Chains A and B, each alone.
Chain A
Amino acid sequence: MAPKPFQRLHPAVAFAFFAAALLLTVLVAHPAFQVVGLAGAIISYLSFTGRSGLRSLAALAAAFCLLTLANPLFIPQGQTVLFTYLGQRPYTLQGLAMGASTAAMLVTALLWFGCFNRVVTSEKLTFLFGRLAPSLTLMLTMVLRLVPLYQRKARQISAARRCVGLSAWEGPATARIRSGAAELSALTTWGLEGAIVTADSMRSRGFGSGPRTPFATYPFTGRDIALAALLTVLLVAAGAAAATVGETRFLPAFAFAPLSPVQTVGLLAWGLFSLMPALVNGREALQWRIISR
């Protein structure tokens, strides 16, 4: 599948976007900001996944309901008692709202992580942190290359053992675990010998003799600059509004300030910020539709 426009942005812009989105998602508890942020995250997530994202959205909705309904069981405080259970223990509206607020934060954060996993790939992370922590990023790159290799090799070892009647798929659990351990042991021997060969090969090619260059290079284009500037403005507006909106409290009674006109602008900025991945992705789809008509 061709990369979406948001996936073609400079890694630094994308990384900073998700870091800021997650931070504000966690810190801002005002319900208006939460609803807008959740809506933006849902639409942005779907702009990456298409229809296949609906299934994970359904799972998240179920988790949202469960967390919301369970919360009053742990938080019996609150003014508006809906009903009592187990004798006198109250189940309150405030507890329910508080649960919904926490669940909204969690679901929004998980959706942002879902987008993050699709945008900030391991190559981009290596590109971003390669200069800051060269050894660690190199190790991470090596691990990411070795895991699929080991999984393939493990299947080969397992198949070879099956041919001589040492199948890991039969027999009691103890025999199977023992067989798995034998396979892992064989894989270790092979992997460690390979590591020495790799390391010697790296040395003979001059590893450590100069600064490392990344595998992929990402140019910082005019579009990145424009988008970074726009996102910064939106973020500052949203952050300022969220910081001045006052504390949101649920216990013992609801207490959150209505938004002033200026703060409403900040709320709109937060919405626009959260929608940015969808807007960036959607613009190209829209252009294509207009051109191909």
Chain B
Amino acid sequence: MAHHLPVAAWGISLLGAALSVVAGALMGGRAYVATSVLVIAFAMLPFFASFERQRPQARQLAVLAVLCALGVAARALFIWVPHFKPMAAIIIIAAVAFGRTSGFLVGALTVAASNLIFGQGPWTPWQMLAFGLCGYAFGLLAERGVFGSRTHLAPGRLAALGLGGGAFIVLVAGPLLDTSSLFYFAALPTPEAALAVYLAGFPVNCIHGASVAIALFLLANPLLGKLARLRSKYGVLQ
């Protein structure tokens, strides 16, 4: 996939984000809630624009759609394990196999589709950003060769991927989602309120992170092998 994001999209997105911040600052009050959502939307715009500009082929679309749907449906397979949410693991595996652009897309669209089924809310943009970033980060790491082979991970690399995935949830994605709670629930985002929200979120994030790490240990190699086979047999997303 092309890694060059269109310059015009970046320009529009930076300008839009800057304008939202200025307008929010001028309005004061609770305008920061609207500003945060607008900035997130503008941040995601270039990724979506670059994907559209590539005019993706049918096979590429179909495979990415399957990965998104697996991410949503995976929860149903582990329904009897409480709090076991393996969605991020599927996103990370897709990112390792297909790179950062596809990783971001699978992350953001999995969440969007899941919320279309289970209900949209003010948290949708934050979730899209958190899981999109998750895909982007691991896609980037895989492109840099951090995990060695992208078709089968050696035990050490697999452990690194699992622990890294869990750590990303606990340290980045989870706190990002907690920040949305802080913005929506607290009258003023004071340090005290922030501390309370992040502390309350920490155990939940740890459980989420652990389930992602376990899912990665179990699923990464089988799924990466299947995706590699798809690439060599059908030439998808090379």
Contact = CB atoms under 8 A, between A and B. Distances in A.
A135 interface: yes
Interface stretch (B2-10, B152-160, B170-178, B181-189): B181-189
Contact of B64 (A134, A139, A198): A139
B212 interface: no
Given A27-B31, A248-B29, A181 B109 contact: no
Interface residues of A, number: 69
A151 B218 contact: no
Nearest to B223: A188
A181 B87 CA distance: 12
Contacts of A208: 55, 57-58
A59 to B, nearest CB: 13
Contact of A113 (B117, B121, B226): B121
Given A101-B187, A139-B109, A199 B58 contact: yes
A144 B77 contact: no
A15 B29 CA distance: 26
B80 A154 contact: no
A3 to B, nearest CB: 18
Interface in B10-68: 27-31, 33-34, 48, 51-52, 55-59, 61-66, 68
A8 B186 CA distance: 37
B185 A102 contact: yes
B223 A247 contact: no
A23 B234 CA distance: 47
Interface stretch (B137-145, B161-169, B190-198): B190-198
Interface string A115-136: 0110000100100000001111
B73 A150 contact: yes
B166 to A, nearest CB: 15
A109 B226 contact: no
Contacts of B117: 144, 147
Contacts of A109: 122, 184
A78 to B, nearest CB: 11
A218 interface: no
B61 A177 contact: no
Contacts of A181: 215, 218-219, 222
Contact of A135 (B51, B70, B110): B51
A265 interface: no
Nearest to A98: B187
A32 interface: no
Contacts of A183: 77
A188 B69 CA distance: 10
Given A74-B193, A101-B187, A177-B84, A133 B58 contact: no
A74 B190 contact: yes
B196 to A, nearest CB: 7
B199 interface: no
Contacts of A29: 29-30
19 contacts: A74-B186, A98-B187, A102-B187, A105-B30, A106-B122, A106-B185, A133-B48, A136-B48, A146-B65, A177-B78, A177-B81, A181-B219, A185-B223, A188-B222, A188-B223, A192-B230, A196-B59, A202-B58, A248-B29
Interface of A: 23, 26-27, 29, 67, 71, 74-75, 95, 98-99, 101-102, 105-106, 109-110, 113-114, 116-117, 122, 125, 133-136, 138-140, 142-144, 146-147, 149-151, 154, 158, 168-169, 173, 176-178, 180-181, 183-185, 187-189, 191-192, 194-196, 198-200, 202-203, 207-208, 247-248, 250
